[in-house]
Amino acid sequence: MSAWENNEEIQRFREYLRIPSVHPDIDYTSCVEFLKKQAADLELPINVYYPSLPTKPVVVITWIGQQPELPSVILNSHMDVVPVFPEKWTHPPFSADMDEEGRIFARGAQDMKCVGMQYLAAIRSLKANKVTLKRTIHITYVPDEEIGGHLGMEVFVKSDDFKKLNVGFSLDEGLASVDDIYRIYYAERSIWQINFKISGNAGHGSLLLKNTVGEKLQYILNKMMTLREQESKRLESDSSLTIGDVTTVNLTKIHGGVQSNVIPPLLEACFDIRLAITVDHKEFENQVRKWCAEIGGGIELEFEQKEPKVPLTKTDATNPFWIGFKKAIDDLKLNVNILVFPGGTDSRYVREAGIPAIGFSPMNNTPVLLHDHDEFIKADTYLRGIEIYKKIIPAVVNA
């Protein structure tokens, strides 16, 4: 038996990990029932909202502050996890097995059931120590973040139920780090997924027709891949940059054609693009449309995603929540790096609503295994994260 086997917080965490809230077609009922049990144990009120569908619950556990009229703080996490390939795991992905080193193996161990339970563990300790907080805290558990959050946080932030929470600041997920440095995220790139629907002259495969879909596809591919190469070189040549500071371009889908000897009238190519926070969205779109015109037109752009430019979270004296957060991490003597998040989280919807948000997952000296096989977190890393939140939560909430 490992040294952590009987730790109550570890037991609660592993219980949550064993709920297979995995895509596709998640039934969130077990998560909701589990969180109701946690709220009852903490003697805190809980509400369940359904901003989109009856199958997409948003769970909110509330700790009312001494000055509830002040803007509140949300501690957000998502209940869903990405699919697994069980044959690639050395431990069943929803068993929450713990080895002698204290490594807890489960899908969601890093992304991000750890954070959702660390919030509650920190609050349990703060309440037990009779700590009083100025502002109200809402601990939120949302669905479907892993598939874009469109029926989760995106609709929730626009709802009257969210507006009644009077949110002034949000904490959400970050990433693990392999070294001693904790990563803190104040912004995210904008996700654009563009489907180029390319039309051209069709005919027999033995001819050299002009204005074919193949020629147009080659032109667009060259332009997009040149941009990709430029950004790749910029990242490689400047050690101060991280992946979140550049625009990424990746070809993700090509389809079309009917037969090997027929030049088709239509081909489609999809690119996943993450626009750096320095990019002017209108200029970028105009450039792409100009490329389409240069090769003869007949190219329709269909946006699967086209996220707007959202406000960055200020990390200076103008943001009192940041001042509180920074004081806590300084008091803890944490080694930190403040970055742009490379992917997309629910924080983008919160920031779009004009609410500052910080992404932070207290997992350092940990291999980054989000969405990977054998995802794990060490028990001592998990427990250390609780201690960190015990300092951060009061500092932010009393800002």
Pair 272, 250: CB distance under 8 Å? yes
* Buried b or exposed e, range 1-23, using 16+ CB within 10 angstroms: eeebeebebbebbbebbebbbbe
Q: How far apart are alpha carbons 118 and 72 in whole angstroms? A: 19
Q: Is 55 exposed, middle or buried (0-12, 13-18, 19+ CB in 10 A)?
A: middle
Q: How far apart are alpha carbons 156 and 145 in whole angstroms? A: 12
Q: Does the annotation mark 145 as catalytic?
A: yes
Exposure of 351 in the CB half-sphere (CA atoms within 13 A): 24
204 C-beta neighbours (distance < 10 Å), count: 9
- Residues with Cβ < 8 Å from 232, sequence gap 6 or more? 246
Q: How far apart are alpha carbons 56 and 166 in whole angstroms? A: 22
Which one of the listed residues 9, 111, 144, 145 is annotated catalytic? 145
Q: How far apart are alpha carbons 38 and 35 in whole angstroms? A: 5
Exposure of 376 in the CB half-sphere (CA atoms within 13 A): 20
First-to-final CA distance of the chain? 43
Which one of the listed residues 80, 173, 346, 375 is annotated catalytic? 80
User: Position 97: which residue type?
Assistant: D
What is the 8-class DSSP label of residue 265? S
The H or E element containing residue 140 is strand 137-142
Query: CB pairs under 8 A, 24+ apart, for 325-330?
Result: 325/358, 325/392, 325/395, 325/396, 327/395, 328/391, 328/392, 328/394, 328/395, 328/396, 329/182, 329/184, 329/392
Pair 198, 220: CB distance under 8 Å? yes
Q: How far apart are alpha carbons 335 and 339 in whole angstroms? A: 13
> Residue 339's beta-bridge partner residues?
185
Q: Does the annotation mark 172 as catalytic?
A: no
User: Which residues are known to be catalytic?
Assistant: 80, 145
